[in-house]
Amino acid sequence: MNKLGKIATEPEYIDWLTEVDRVGGEFAWIRKTKNFPKNATGKERTVDEINKSVLNSFRVTKAIKEEALKRNCNEKFVKLEAEEILANMAHSFNISAVRTIGYGVVKVIKHVFDKIFVNMAGLKKIRDLLPKDAVVFMPTHKTYVDFMLVSLLCFDQDVTLPAIAAGSDFQNSKLMGEALRRCGAFYIRRSFGDDQLYWAVFAEYIQTHLIHADRPVEFFVEGTRSRASKSLYPRYGLLQNLLEPFLKSNVYDLKIVPVTMNYDKILEESLYAYELLGFPKPKESTSGLLKARQILNKRFGNVYMTFGEPISVRQYFYGTIERSVLSFQPDAYMIVPDNQKKVIRKFGHEIVRIHNAHNVITLWSLACIAMLEIIDDSKQSGIDDVSIKSDELLQRTQLLLSLCKLLNIQIQILQSTEDDLRYYLNIHSDLFLPFNINDTNFDLKFIEFPIDKNGIIQKDLLQKAVTSIILANYANQVLDVFADLSLVAIILRNFSSYPYVKLLSEFSWLQNLFEREFVRVPEDTQIDFNNSLNRLKLCGLISQDENRITIKNNLKMLQLAKFLMPFLDCYLLIFDIFLNLDSSVTAKNIIPSSQRKMAQILEKNSNNSNLRLSFLSSDLIKNAYSTLLSRKIIALKGSHDLRINTSELLKIKEKLYTYSNNLETADTVLIHSRL
């Protein structure tokens, strides 16, 4: 049985921070002589040469002419605008600046992190690729620190530092924005809309780097940081743009390097929780984050970096993409047939799948699941002020760990279960009232995070919800490996046996419904289903004859079902909220309106163990909304007005209802939601 999840152990993984100390510390490390390889063209263009080639390209000059014609103005004014766009976008890479800035960044990173485990052999492979092909790093995106660490590790291993696609809001801090620009960051808007001039400059800028192999390119396929620690849906438009040089035969091949990054503690964990509760996103400022006193006074544990096997785009798309047709299209335009767009989109999902397969899962994720379950049980017993005994938390975490071992899911254990649990509780001690980590069986009581004022939701509810969302986010880090197994268990849990064909159909329906929560490769449902059944059979949890699936271990299957039941219960409430929206709700305010309604439901049903404060997360509501939008059950008339197909949404809700934990309780809650 194939193992799920990765563990970061020697000799494959080494602690990079130890290597920095070995050469004499950060100052000696940053001054080391570097020997970056020549690129595939044998010539490294200067920043000015790159920018000049962009402005003089056929794509950009054509866009300038068309824009001037559309605006009925002189071309020179549009060209000045294009120059301004490029000046604001382009990096100004300088190795001297890299050394100066890198020294400061390494110093901070050494202060906040204990260890940074890296599979160095995976990174060293990239260096051998650079003289042959254009290389694209595609890391996961969980925190600001992601791109800094990739660049530092490239510097360490003499891998040419990448040109990094960064959001333009990083420029809010002018000092740090310019510093990052000198380290290779180029800035792009979060959305381009129908600004054809901007699209042309952006596309040409990215593609000239790849065609001339000036530097590797670093691109986040998810587009933005994941606030909920789950993979985000790939950004198809940007991905297609990145692949265009290959699709049009301007390069022989591209090598894509998936990079998975896992953190014991996310630097922005409380900021994410506040954002997900509807508080305005603070202005992006890496400098502000790294200088924040509360950051520098905390420990953030370990980081795990996994450089995946480079993917040859040429090999991946062999036989599925008709490059001979695409290569004859004009440089300024490329129209990809729908069937080939599907192949490109599937590739984005493959990258996400590899990211998830390389996740290093720690005991903390299991501990967070256990704490959320203890909170649920306390609510069922009518206990409002939850106190968790460390021994009970250890026992529940060990039960989850034993289930992982049974299913051959690898969990990173540094010392022992008890020692690791104490280590993680110590790192995350700011979630609790003060406790003595050295006591035999200490009490854990959650703090209420400070809220200055009421937001979309009442202050007293928000203060409790922050911790719940933080716990749910860390629990999410392990749920991807359980998701398909849990879906099978949810379907089977009320039956002693079930027809294979019907089980596959129900599995497919649920997997598609939660496609935004747990990103899967399109058209791989049958493979995912059979893999899940095989794993459950090998563990002795189910048996299968030719036509039926039978449960052999009800207790373990119920344990599996519980992993995803909160998502099911939350979607039920969200769908009911959508069905009862008033006419004033638009596409622009549907998320906050739904959060406000969700808060009312949670306040009226505070002792319902099936309802969690983490349901207030805008991530869950947004994902449910996006799923219905993609199915055209919710449609937009114009840019804001909503049209909901209530009959179709009712069908989905009623079918989902059949899997619910407690139908009587759910009925009561849904009635309250209509009040």
- Among residues 218, 204, 175, the alpha carbon closest in space to that of 52 is found at 204
Helix (H, G, I), strand (E, B) or coil at 642: strand
Residue 386: per-residue pLDDT = 85
Instruction: For residue 326, give both structure tokens.
Output: 């695409």
> Which region holds residue 267: left if phi is over 0, alpha if psi is between -120 and 50, else beta?
alpha
* Pairing verdict, β 634-637 and 641-644: antiparallel
In the chain, where the domains are located? 14-357, 361-446, 448-673
Q: Output the pLDDT for position 332.
A: 63
Distance between CA atoms of residues 185 and 164, nearest Å: 4
Residue type, 364: W
Residue 468: CB atoms within 10 Å:
20
**Alpha helices (H) along 235-362:** 236-247, 269-276, 286-291, 293-296, 313-316, 323-326, 338-357
Query: Regarding beta strands 311-312 and 387-389, do their DSSP bridges make them parallel or antiparallel, or are they unpaired?
Result: unpaired
Secondary structure (3-state) at 268: coil
pLDDT for 639 equals 66
Contact present, 224 and 203 (Cβ < 8 Å): no
CA-to-CA distance for 373 and 393, rounded, in angstroms?
Answer: 10
Per the CB < 8 A criterion, the answer to whether 186 and 91 are in contact is yes
H or E segment at 69?
helix 58-71
Q: Which amino acid is at 330?
A: P
What pLDDT score was predicted for residue 331?
64
Number of H helices, E strands in the chain: 28, 16
Task: Report d(CA 590, CA 625) in Å as an integer.
Answer: 9
Alpha-carbon span 188 to 186, nearest angstrom: 7
Q: Are strands 14-15 and 115-118 parallel, antiparallel or unpaired?
A: antiparallel
Contacts of 554 (CB under 8 A, 6+ apart): 493
CA dist., res. 366 & res. 514, Å (int): 21
* Separation between Cα atoms, residue 330 and residue 326, nearest integer Å: 9
**Hey, what are 463's tokens?**
């203060």
CB 488 within 8 A of CB 627: no
**255, 134 in Cβ contact below 8 A?**
yes
- The Cα–Cα gap between 7 and 642 comes to 46
The 10 Å CB-count burial string (b at 16+, else e) for 528-561 is bbebbbebbeebebbeeeeebbebeeeebbebbb
Question: Regarding beta strands 134-139 and 254-263, do their DSSP bridges make them parallel or antiparallel, or are they unpaired?
Answer: parallel
CB 544 within 8 A of CB 537: yes
Question: Scanning the structure block, which residue is given the tokens 């006074």?
Answer: 297
Averages of pLDDT over each 10 residues, the chain, 675 residues:
90 96 96 93 92 96 95 94 96 95 93 96 94 96 93 96 89 79 92 88 95 95 94 92 92 96 95 88 49 72 98 94 78 79 95 97 98 91 83 97 97 96 97 95 93 75 92 97 97 90 97 97 96 96 93 95 96 95 89 94 88 96 96 85 93 92 44 42
Q: State the Cα–Cα distance between residues 173 and 540, nearest whole angstrom.
A: 56
Please work out, in degrees rounded to the nearest 5, the angle formed at the alpha carbon of residue 570 by the alpha carbons of 565 and 574. 150
508 burial via Cβ count (<10 Å: 0-12, 13-18, 19+)? middle
Whole-number pLDDT of residue 454:
65
Angle CA 578–384–397, to nearest 5? 90
